[in-house]
Structure 1
């Protein structure tokens, strides 16, 4: 499959500009701009006909603008009204991945491709008017603060996000290094909103991390699919192979996606020549496969996914599952099966439209949109991996029931201080377990959770979550490779 034209980035971190789990591709669309100067040598009528707008359509739009400008109660800004019209057209498509970027947002978008940036390090989408976390980037401030895939952000630093566009919401979330973003989030299974304080930081542009595990099992983690990821992956893969690697784990958990051509380059050497890596389907139902030119590998491979694995990550997992025969380990992935391209030149004034133009399908033609990639080996992480940050709005005391108590109990359990229950009731036994934790950590043994105790609990449980010995999904992926090698 060959796409022509300029490369366009559709994966954008939440810290830079709004975009959601987007897969990158190339495009060379032959369309006329709906706004701006008409093509040289053509009439306005011809331009409107080519664009699908009749003179009546254009008259209605112009009349609406004139009425706003001359009759509306308050003075209006020209650019705000025009941008609102564009946003309105795109919103009518009811596609959360199709968005408009004004000149400032488009500039930040372009800068994110070529330079480092600062923010919280997560990806967000707009779904039914809600701003939903797709995935926090591994090692990012968002992950460190306990933000999870599918969290819904309702306010930032006390400002509600209701009624904002995706870009507007993200502009409130992003910010310079060292500043705080106080996010009120709603989480599935948790009754009250949770306040999470994220300290913005530099977002690591390195996307590939590799190591050799015991028994010559290699592990390569891909955190996003950006322009240099395929090169870095090839370098790390060769390094592991030169060390005598016998099996490989590819980890795309909490990887929200990126460039389509990059994931194809990564997968290509593993798929035998002629087999499809991925297929794309246009609006007319025409499918075009991307055949491999690779030779395959002579060692077994497993792929780790979770609910934060989206878009390009799912392309990779689907290709290994169906074209290579590798086992997928972990949780059902996010379920993002569409491809977006950006239209900057067509807009003509520095603004940009990112629009869904294709479906992508697995090598066998399966569309995983809103379904996700199903793991061959389903493995849940320990319950404390999903404990939410404590609200810290007030001291948590015994003989109370709340989501905070339940999350505190999950943390104590994960840290080995075993309360008698994890149902959210603050029992005497839970208080004793809490006192034991406070004693070990040099805190006053109050049996209550104040801010200091809450911070200590969260820091300690994050250390446990990051310890590979507690990673049940990684253990299962390695065990599957060992079983294959023993045959």
Structure 2
């Protein structure tokens, strides 16, 4: 069984815990019957559920799908908890969860990018099916198992190429003027969760995208590599990190804390909080003593928050960025079949000083964030917008144009004359047809300029660098 802390139902922080759960099969339905010593009242409640299941199965006017009936009963029980983090996962949802915490997935081993409405190979990973089959950067993927990818999203393309290890996938590719097919056998593809580079003034910069099974060892390697390069301080960036394995978060945190310092606390429904402290058990004796700063934002959750809170409260490490997500509950994962898992909230976790950040998040010592246009969603490029229309896409267009310096009025969902004027100014500046309407070509241009602008400007990272320089 697995015990988890998470931000999102399908992105979890997992650690081991043994619970005595008795699984009883009644008329084909799997029920969860308490740990031991359930009361007569609980037995009666259980029997009521079983009786309803039996009556529907035997008396409903047409044949029912008992598997769906069982899942519906489970979903119904979970819905009464009013807890978005307790869920019954099946098939692809369970696979997605497992991929997110294992740091690996079944696939062919390519990174793709979308160019001119087409999915193009950006890189191939050494030792993977794609590399062995000779796929190269620049190859255009036209189809996956007969499904055309033109105008499809990147997520759709990657979903089609991923799958169970050992299964085959047929891809149609174009290289220059040549079109050819490749049949690849999916294998386990490892995911690198830690990247590192040296910034100016010998500041080692490390990003952690998620907290998976090998993240702590990846982090340790990155720190040692930067140390050899002469790093004098570190910036650890956990922005947009949704969480992962709690055991890994403990190992990561312990590297930066003196032995005996508290990393976190976990408090179940009954009993005292269990305190987790830094020790050689977690870090293997490896310690970081150089000045460090952690960067967070509203998408930093769970294990990322455990790590940030531990360093902040137990090692006086400053936090830079914006308020974190605030996910302070613990879930347990129990797997019933290869494709069915129950994820249930069983406890809350607390920061070293005993604070429960659930719904509140961690507040940075130094506030800095991307501009609003960094958080707009992808535009619907199948539509064209003009004066008089109103929807959320138009609001995002306004936010983008404001961030790019073309719009200075209030933000709303309305396509006003002032929005039209801003669009015309943008179109003229960017050599587009000046129509005052936002079509697919204008949307793509705006999106590209937003990406370019954001790439040149990272206020939180700049602030973190300043903090590091000031502390020297």
Q: TM-score band, normalised by the shorter chain?
A: 0.7 to 0.9
Tell me the equivalent position of 2:87.
99
Residues 436-451 of structure 1 aligned to structure 2 (within 5 Å): 436-451=425-440
Tell me the equivalent position of 1:165.
none
The CA deviation at 1:387 is 3.7
Asked whether 1:116 is paired with 2:105, we answer yes
SS of structure 1 residue aligned to 2:253: helix
Tell me the equivalent position of 2:171.
none
Residues 124-163 of structure 1 aligned to structure 2 (within 5 Å): none
Of residues 306, 310, 313 in structure 1, which corresponds to 2:304?
A: 313
SS of structure 2 residue aligned to 1:434: helix
Gaps of 5+ in 2: 28-32, 115-144, 163-189, 280-284
Residues 338-487 of structure 1 aligned to structure 2 (within 5 Å): 338-344=329-335, 347=336, 351-392=340-381, 394-398=383-387, 403-416=392-405, 418-424=406-412, 431=420, 433-465=422-454, 467=455, 469-485=456-472
Q: Structure 1 residues 177 and 228, CA, compared in 2 at 3 Å: closer, same or farther?
A: farther
* Whole-Å separation in 1 of the counterparts to 2:113 and 2:274: 36
Contact 1:25 1:339 in 2 (8 A): no
Once the two structures are superposed, what CA deviation does each residue of 1:288-346 show, in whole Å capped at 9, x if it has no partner? Answer: 111112675332211111111110111011011101101111111111011222122xx
Tell me the equivalent position of 1:66.
54
TM score, norm. by length of structure 1: 0.71
Residues 293-312 of structure 1 aligned to structure 2 (within 5 Å): 293=279, 297-312=288-303
* Whole-Å separation in 1 of the counterparts to 2:229 and 2:154: 42
* Whole-Å separation in 1 of the counterparts to 2:307 and 2:361: 12
TM score, norm. by length of structure 2: 0.73
* Whole-Å separation in 2 of the counterparts to 1:414 and 1:197: 25
Contact 2:103 2:192 in 1 (8 A): no
Tell me the equivalent position of 1:23.
13
Once the two structures are superposed, what CA deviation does each residue of 1:12-37 show, in whole Å capped at 9, x if it has no partner? Answer: 9xxxxx82453211111123224479
The CA deviation at 1:433 is 4.7
Q: Structure 1 residues 93 and 478, CA, compared in 2 at 3 Å: closer, same or farther?
A: same
The CA deviation at 1:394 is 4.3
The CA deviation at 1:180 is 9.1
Residues 266-345 of structure 1 aligned to structure 2 (within 5 Å): 266-293=252-279, 297-344=288-335
Instruction: State how many pairs are aligned.
Output: 397
* Whole-Å separation in 1 of the counterparts to 2:264 and 2:419: 51
Tell me the equivalent position of 2:129.
none
Q: Structure 1 residues 102 and 407, CA, compared in 2 at 3 Å: closer, same or farther?
A: closer
* Whole-Å separation in 1 of the counterparts to 2:113 and 2:330: 25
* Whole-Å separation in 2 of the counterparts to 1:322 and 1:114: 28
The CA deviation at 1:50 is 4.2
* Whole-Å separation in 2 of the counterparts to 1:242 and 1:378: 31
Q: Structure 1 residues 100 and 400, CA, compared in 2 at 3 Å: closer, same or farther?
A: closer
* Whole-Å separation in 2 of the counterparts to 1:382 and 1:69: 56
* Whole-Å separation in 1 of the counterparts to 2:426 and 2:296: 33
Asked whether 1:83 is paired with 2:71, we answer yes
Of residues 253, 265, 284 in structure 1, which corresponds to 2:239?
A: 253
Tell me the equivalent position of 1:201.
158
Once the two structures are superposed, what CA deviation does each residue of 1:420-448 show, in whole Å capped at 9, x if it has no partner? Answer: 43535666665555344334544222232
* Whole-Å separation in 2 of the counterparts to 1:405 and 1:103: 36
Structure with the higher fraction of residues in strand conformation? 2
Asked whether 1:210 is paired with 2:167, we answer no
Contact 1:396 1:449 in 2 (8 A): yes
Gaps of 5+ in 1: 1-5, 13-17, 38-45, 119-138, 142-174, 183-195
SS of structure 2 residue aligned to 1:356: strand
